Structure 1
Amino acid sequence: MLKLDMRRTLNSLLFVFALLLILLAAARPAAAVEVKISASALERTLVTQLFNGPDGRYYLRGNPHSSCYVYADSPHVSFADDRIVVDVHTRSRLGASVMGRCLGVSLSTNARVSLVPDAEEESIGFRDARIEHMSESRELNFLLVPFLSGKLPAQMKVNAADLVRQVLARSKEVTGYSCTLGTLKMHSLLVEGDALVMDADGDLNVD
C-alpha cells in the first residue's frame, strides 16, 4: 500500500471522482464515471513517488555523498498519440573512486521512455515500456534500461481505490453524508488529446 504522503498528488482529481460517485449512487448501485487526468498530475505523482530524494534526484548508482554516481532528475510527462511520454535528465560520474575522488568521465544527457496506460482492476498502471532515447555510453545505458523500462513505470502506478477511500473518509464533513466505497473497477484508460481518460464503475454506500 502506498504511503500517505505519496497519495496526495491525485487527491483533488479523485475527490471530484468520489463526489460524482456520491451523486450517481442514488440512481443505481454501480456508478459509472469518466475522469480526465492531466499530464501534470501524472508528473506530480512521479515526482512524489520516485524523485523524492535530495534536490529531486533518484540515484541509480551511489548517493549524494558518493564520488562516482548516476542520478536522474527533472522528470517531464507528456502525451503523444496513445502513449504517455516521460523525459528525464541524467547526470553521472563514471569511473573508479580513488581517495574520495572519481577518476573517470562526467556525462549529462537526456533519456526518454513511452508507456501505454493500463487499467488494472483498481489501479492505474502502465505497460509496454518503449525506450525512445538514451545516452551514447554503454555503461550508463546498462543502468538506464532497467530504470526506464521497470522502475519508473512501476513507481507511476497508483491504486485509485485506496485514494478514493481516503477522500471518502472526509465525506460526512464535506457533504453531510457518510460514504464508503465497496469496489472500484476501471474498464479503460486511454490517452485522448491532452488528457488520460479513466472510465470506471464504483459501488458506493451512502448513510
Structure 2
Amino acid sequence: MKTALPAALFAAAVLAWPLSARCAEIVLEQSAVQSLVVEGLFKDNGRLYLQKGVCFAYLDDPKVSLQGGRVIIRAHLNSRLGVPSGKECVGVSLNSGATVSAVPAAQGQVVRLTDIRVDEVEDANTRNLLNLGLAPTLPGAVEINVKKAVEDMLKSTGSRLQADVQMLKIDAVQVTDSRLSIQFDFRLVGR
C-alpha cells in the first residue's frame, strides 16, 4: 500500500504536466529548398543581378545544398565592373565561382535566412562584391510563411469546412540529413 500512493501521485503529476510535444512539422527536401531559392532570388532569367546596366554583375547557375545546419548556395558570378562610357563599360571583368551560406531561423510565423556569410570565392574581388551586393538580398531568398502554408494546405483539401488558423508558433527550425525541418504548434478553428 505504501508504494501505491507514491506511484499514484507520480502518475497524476505526469498527467497534469503540460505536454510540450510538437503538433506539426513541415519537412522540405533539398530539391524544394533549391526551388525556393531559385524562385526567391534568381528570378531574372535564372539570374540574380547585383548591378544592372552596361556595367553589370549577376549570379547564375545556383546549386543549393543543406549541411551543417546551413543552407549553402554555390553560384557563378559574371560581371563587368567599372565606369559606364556610352554603351560600354570601361573596367574589369570578373568571372568566379562563389559559395554563400546562411542559417534558416524563425522570425514570427516566417522562416528566413540569417547569419549570412561568404564561405568560398575564387578571387578576392569577388568576395568584396558578394559582401556588398549579395548578403543584403539573402534574408528574403528563402522565406517560408508557415501560417500561410498551413492555411493553403487546408484550403486545398476540398473540405466544406472553413478552417481558420488562429495561432501558430514555430518551435524549431533545423537543417539535418539534407532536409529543412520546421516544427510548429498551431490552433485551428473549423466552422
What range describes the TM-score normalised by the shorter chain of this pair?
0.7 to 0.9
Instruction: Note the alpha carbon deviations across 1:135-184, whole angstroms, 9 max, x for none.
Output: 4243x43331034433113332222212322343344xx23422121111
Structure 2 residue aligned with 1:56:
46
Given candidates 87, 95, 112, the residue that maps to 1:125 is 112
CA distance in 2, matches of 1:113, 1:81: 13
Structure 2 residue aligned with 1:158:
144
Structure 1 residue aligned with 2:182:
198
CA distance in 2, matches of 1:52, 1:137: 26
Structure 2 residue aligned with 1:27:
none
- Which structure carries more helix by proportion? 1
CA distance in 1, matches of 2:85, 2:122: 25
CA distance in 1, matches of 2:22, 2:62: 35
CA distance in 2, matches of 1:147, 1:193: 30
TM superposition score normalised by structure 1: 0.73
Flag structure 2 segments of 5+ consecutive residues without an equivalent.
1-20
User: Aligned pair in 2 of structure 1 residues 119, 99: CA closer, same or farther (>3 Å)?
Assistant: closer
TM superposition score normalised by structure 2: 0.79
* Greater C-alpha radius of gyration: 2
Q: How many equivalent pairs are there?
A: 171
Instruction: Note the alpha carbon deviations across 1:105-133, whole angstroms, 9 max, x for none.
Output: 22211111121221223111222122101
Flag structure 1 segments of 5+ consecutive residues without an equivalent.
1-29
Amino acid at match of 2:109: E
Amino acid at match of 1:77: V
CA distance in 2, matches of 1:76, 1:56: 12
Instruction: Please give the residue correspondences for 1:2-21 in structure 2 after superposition, counting only pairs within 5 Å.
Output: none
- Which structure carries more strand by proportion? 2
User: Aligned pair in 2 of structure 1 residues 137, 100: CA closer, same or farther (>3 Å)?
Assistant: farther
User: Aligned pair in 2 of structure 1 residues 194, 69: CA closer, same or farther (>3 Å)?
Assistant: same
Given candidates 178, 187, 193, the residue that maps to 2:162 is 178
How well do the aligned residues superpose, as a CA RMSD in angstroms?
A: 2.1
User: Aligned pair in 2 of structure 1 residues 31, 202: CA closer, same or farther (>3 Å)?
Assistant: farther
- Contact kept, 8 Å, 1:31 with 1:202, in 2: the verdict is no
Structure 2 residue aligned with 1:142:
128
